[in-house]
Structures are given as structure tokens and as C-alpha cells.
Amino acid sequence: MAEEPILLIDEPAPHVRRITLNRPNKRNALSNALRAEIYSALEAGDRDPEVRVMIVRGAGTCFSSGYDLAGLGELPWHTAGNQGQWARHVVEGCFKVWDLAKPVIAQVHGWCLAGGSELATSCDLVYVAEDAQIGYPAVRTMSPADNHSHAWLMGMRAAMEQMLTGDSIDGAEAVRLGFANRAFPADRLEEEVLAMAIRVAKVDPELAQLNKRAVHRQMEAMGMRTGIRAATDVHALGWHTKASRDYMAQMRQGVTQALTARDSAFGDYRTGEKS
């Protein structure tokens, strides 16, 4: 039997293109092969004059559980190597979405962790299920976040709590803190996101592009792009800590075992209620 494609693309309404991460058995873990297809699909939609808005979502039980630690694969585009390469590569990807002309909407349900949260962050609008779980557990054992958008979106106090605990927040809290626009019951999320996409598509695409850019230019004037890029150097330092080196040795013995050990003291993620 032919393998299922790892990315699905459909057009559920006029001028709306929907991109679905399709690795449900892996909780849509972001391998570099999947990342390459996501960015390729977004860029293709940006070039297509019939597309005015795009939606990114995940198949199965969640949006994305994060990067595929068991098998990332080769980087999908070149990023200068050595110290901090991975974090710089991630940030370049996020700003690829930021710099597209067309608005991109993240439709988030279930787990939205680490790299999955970074993918959602890079989108222009974020709508979440009320029971979604959004977090960055890697700060417990590896390093600071690759893309440190937390302080920009949530403010200093909430970002600090996220970085010092690695805890997750639900959809309602994500809205309250500024990570997401709105939260909906899980069974209504798809229809609400599609309704918003149709609403966005009513605006002339040339004007929508300028409207999107106007918001981003204000954030850039306040230093968002520079700050996030600067944080990649802090991320690189994290890999040289004893805690990170010890944890990576555990990872080489088995990813599942290492993740379970990481979260058992906190009683969440793999060791808490299943999702």
C-alpha cells in the first residue's frame, strides 16, 4: 500500500487554502521533511492569485507535539552552521511565514508543544480549542526556546513562568495571555476557523497584504525581529550546560524513556492525563 502523504491540501471555501499536517500516529511531530512540505505549500499558496488566506491545522488528536526528536532529518534549507544553527534555522522558518503576503491562520487543537507552538506563533491569527494544551517542555532539560516569542506575545511575567516551569496552558488561558486570538469548544473549532478565513478573504488581497505588513512593521519597530534573533544565541548556550549534556545522553538511550523521565517529576505531558 502507498504511504499516506504527510501533508494534505484542500480548499474548503473560495479563496481559502487549508494545509493539514498528516502524521497523526506521530502526533504530527515536525520532521524536517514535513517542515519542508509545510513551507513549500505556504509559499505556493502565497504565489497563487486565487488564494487569499491559508489555514494550518493538524490531523488526528493534536496540532503538533513538537519537533521529531527521533528523526528530524536533513535541514530543508541552508542556514549558516555551527553554534546556534538549529535555533537560527527555526527562526528563519517562522519569519518565512511572517513575511508572506497572504494571511495565515493556525487552527490549534490538542497538544501544541515546542516546535508546534513555534509554528502556530508564526501565523498571523491563532484560534484554539478550549482544551488545547500549549507549552514548551524542552526548557526543563534542553535549552531556552528556539523562537523566544513568549515575552512579545504574553508579556514578561507570563513568559517567565512558561520558561521557568515548562508547564502547558489551555486554550482559554492562551487567549487571556495573548498567545491566541480566540478559543472555541473543540467540536466548533473547525467551523469557526473556516468562518473567520472566509471573512478575511472578503478583503481585497492587495490591501490585506498591506494591512498585515502594517502590524508587523510596528512589532519590528519595537524590536521583535531583532529580539527573537538575538535569543537564538542564548538558546545555543543552553546546549553547553551540564543539564543539557546529561539529558542528550539520555535521549541517545531512547527518546520515549528520556521524555518520560523529564516529565515524571512534574506529573504532566507523557506522565499525566493522556491526550
* pLDDT tens column, 94-106: 999 999 999 999 9
Q: How confident is the model at residue 270 (pLDDT cuts 50, 70, 90)?
A: confident
CATH number of 7-187+204-271: 3.90.226.10
- pLDDT, one tens digit per residue, over 44-68 is 999 999 999 999 999 999 999 999 9
**Closest listed residue to residue 191, CA positions, set 107, 275, 104:** 107
Confidence (pLDDT) at 33: 96
- Decide if 102 contacts 53 (C-beta within 8 A): yes
Percent of the chain with pLDDT over 70: 98
**pTM of the predicted model as reported, rounded to 2 decimal places:** 0.95
φ and ψ of 181, to 5 deg: -80, -50
Partnered with residue 52 across adjacent β-strands are none
- Decide if 102 contacts 54 (C-beta within 8 A): yes
- Three cell numbers written together for 114: 515546542
- pLDDT, one tens digit per residue, over 147-205 is 999 999 999 999 999 999 999 999 999 999 999 999 999 999 999 999 999 999 999 99
Round to whole Å and give the CA distance between 181 and 175. 6
Average of per-residue pLDDT across 251-262: 90
- pLDDT, one tens digit per residue, over 113-159 is 999 999 999 999 999 999 999 999 999 999 999 999 999 999 999 99
Query: For the chain, which residues make up each domain, given as ranges?
Result: 7-187+204-271
Packed helices 85-98 and 32-47: angle between N→C axes, nearest 10 degrees: 20
Average of per-residue pLDDT across 6-35: 97
274 pLDDT higher than 60: no
Tallying the residues shown for the chain, one arrives at 275
Q: How confident is the model at residue 89 (pLDDT cuts 50, 70, 90)?
A: very high
φ and ψ of 106, to 5 deg: -95, 130
Q: Which residues contact 154 (CB under 8 A, 6 or more apart)?
A: 162, 177, 178, 179
70 pLDDT higher than 90: no
Q: How confident is the model at residue 1 (pLDDT cuts 50, 70, 90)?
A: low
- Decide if 119 contacts 30 (C-beta within 8 A): yes
75 pLDDT higher than 90: yes
Q: How confident is the model at residue 69 (pLDDT cuts 50, 70, 90)?
A: confident
